[in-house]
Amino acid sequence: MGYARRVMDGIGEVAVTGAGGSVTGARLRHQVRLLAHALTEAGIPPGRGVACLHANTWRAIALRLAVQAIGCHYVGLRPTAAVTEQARAIAAADSAALVFEPSVEARAADLLERVSVPVVLSLGPTSRGRDILAASVPEGTPLRYREHPEGIAVVAFTSGTTGTPKGVAHSSTAMSACVDAAVSMYGRGPWRFLIPIPLSDLGGELAQCTLATGGTVVLLEEFQPDAVLEAIERERATHVFLAPNWLYQLAEHPALPRSDLSSLRRVVYGGAPAVPSRVAAARERMGAVLMQNYGTQEAAFIAALTPDDHARRELLTAVGRPLPHVEVEIRDDSGGTLPRGAVGEVWVRSPMTMSGYWRDPERTAQVLSGGWLRTGDVGTFDEDGHLHLTDRLQDIIIVEAYNVYSRRVEHVLTEHPDVRAAAVVGVPDPDSGEAVCAAVVVADGADPDPEHLRALVRDHLGDLHVPRRVEFVRSIPVTPAGKPDKVKVRTWFTD
């Protein structure tokens, strides 16, 4: 069974809800049939990309399903991405069409000045695209699925922090395996999953997992802590996904103590490194519902740190144990498997692994070998089988020929009660090779002594890890994907 068919077959009585009301499963299924018919009538053949520009709306969920049902690959345009990056994604993914919502018509117009697309369609009346909502499908017309199990269902573009963004292609079979992994982490459905993250990316995948298990997608246009608390209480949400920084904001919000969160089963966070001390504080305020997900664009879900794991403070530097049907090995530079406790690159093999980088066999061959994927993350397994990440390969700092792992230094710095966040980078140094530098965000009104922070690192990790420079900053910049932008941070110490 194809992925889109599996999701469609799982849709329950109430498919989507939010502040604007609810959408029944019957209405969502009809919308998918209508859109699939309209896309086919527009001449879009299977195997091509359909670039989609939209907000967090129920019709965006229907569009994604319709694209996949007719055997095309969904290309979600991240709302935070620059127009040049979006245009590049449209062209690179072999997009036969651009479909956009009226609310983003201005951006669509900007894109169409930069890239040529054979077919332009809109989800509603606009001046630039044919309105496919005005199409009709005869009553009782079945949805003709044209997806193939090994056909590409999604091409998602990386954030480009290590170079040109890469198109990550996942098959229908791999996406269906993501549903199985989600159930293993979040429990059996139906869920009422609150999604405040963009549907063009992970939010759309979580929405489809929710529908496949008979659940209800609770939509928010964007993250605002008070709106999230209100939606959890109003909609009796059972699950919510947050970036780590959003988790801290929610846990520290003054309205939290008077909010009814009794419906919550999982508060899932991931997508960027978490600060252990702030996660511990969040657990104290929110209870035993926290779960960390570790994954990559190329590998999808890899590991999870369960609510029970969060009760052990020493495990808050871990990302959890590998999920069922996910194999993880730590390997050296030559690809040899390392023993437990050794530090090396994280390699992954699972049914969720990408088919490859879209039309880029050279880059694909660099990271895929014998079904195994090189993640580019550096980590180690502890005695209990929990995976701990120490760095990204490109972020390792070489000091006097010794590897300094930036995440270990960040963990020590953020253990200081006055430190809210830290980003550690290496910059060229004529004597040691590289010098360790730290950008540090402190609590309001705090004024820690840089020398005290250096001494803290020296006591925990040794002299080579001590930051040569410590700069206090208002915030750590992030990439469009929500990860610390260390390229930007590095310029603070080199310009």
Secondary structure of residue 316 in the 3-state scheme: helix
The per-residue pLDDT for 98 is 98
CB-based contact 264:238 (threshold 8 Å)? yes
The per-residue pLDDT for 163 is 54
- 115 Cβ contact list (under 8 Å, min separation 6): 87, 90, 91
pLDDT in tens, the chain (495 residues): 799 999 999 999 999 999 779 999 999 999 999 999 999 999 999 999 999 999 999 999 999 999 999 999 999 998 888 899 899 999 999 999 999 999 999 999 999 999 999 999 999 999 989 999 998 887 778 899 999 989 999 999 986 555 567 899 999 999 999 999 999 999 999 999 999 999 999 999 999 999 999 999 999 999 999 999 999 999 999 999 999 999 999 999 999 999 999 999 999 999 888 999 999 999 999 999 999 999 999 999 999 999 999 999 999 999 999 999 999 999 999 999 999 999 999 999 999 999 999 999 999 999 999 999 999 999 999 999 999 999 888 889 999 888 899 999 999 999 999 999 999 999 998 888 899 999 999 998 888 999 999 999 999 999 999 999 999 999 999 887 778 899 999 999 987
How is residue 447 written in tokens? 């004024």
Q: How far apart are CA 486 and CA 335, in angstroms?
A: 27
The per-residue pLDDT for 66 is 98
Q: How far apart are CA 479 and CA 323, in angstroms?
A: 27
Confidence (pTM): 0.90
The per-residue pLDDT for 175 is 98
**Rg value, the chain, Cα:** 23
Name the residue type at position 286. Answer: M
Strand ranges (E), 311-467? 321-322, 327-331, 344-349, 356-357, 368-369, 372-381, 387-392, 397-399, 402-404, 419-429, 433-442
- Give the torsion sign (CA, 418, 423, 426, 427): negative
How is residue 88 written in tokens? 């590049």
- What torsion, rounded to 10 degrees, do the Cα atoms 272, 278, 282, 288 define? 80
Q: How far apart are CA 212 and CA 241, in angstroms?
A: 17
Nearest residue to 329 via CA among 309, 313, 345, 315:
345
Secondary structure of residue 342 in the 3-state scheme: coil
How is residue 48 written in tokens? 């091509």
- 455 Cβ contact list (under 8 Å, min separation 6): none
273-295 exposure pattern, b = at least 16 Cβ within 10 A, e = fewer:
bbbbbbbeebbeebeebbbbbbb
Domains of the chain: 1-180 (3.40.50.980), 396-492 (3.30.300.30)
The per-residue pLDDT for 187 is 96
Phi, psi of 70 (to 5 degrees): -90, 10
Name the residue type at position 83. Answer: V
The per-residue pLDDT for 429 is 87
Secondary structure of residue 126 in the 3-state scheme: coil
Secondary structure of residue 139 in the 3-state scheme: coil
- 257 Cβ contact list (under 8 Å, min separation 6): none
Q: How far apart are CA 459 and CA 231, in angstroms?
A: 45
Please, which residues bridge with residue 121 across strands?
99, 130
Could you say which DSSP state residue 134 is in? G
The per-residue pLDDT for 96 is 97
- Give the torsion sign (CA, 18, 20, 24, 27): negative
Surface-to-core class of residue 110, CB atoms within 10 Å of its CB (0-12 exposed, 13-18 middle, 19+ buried): middle
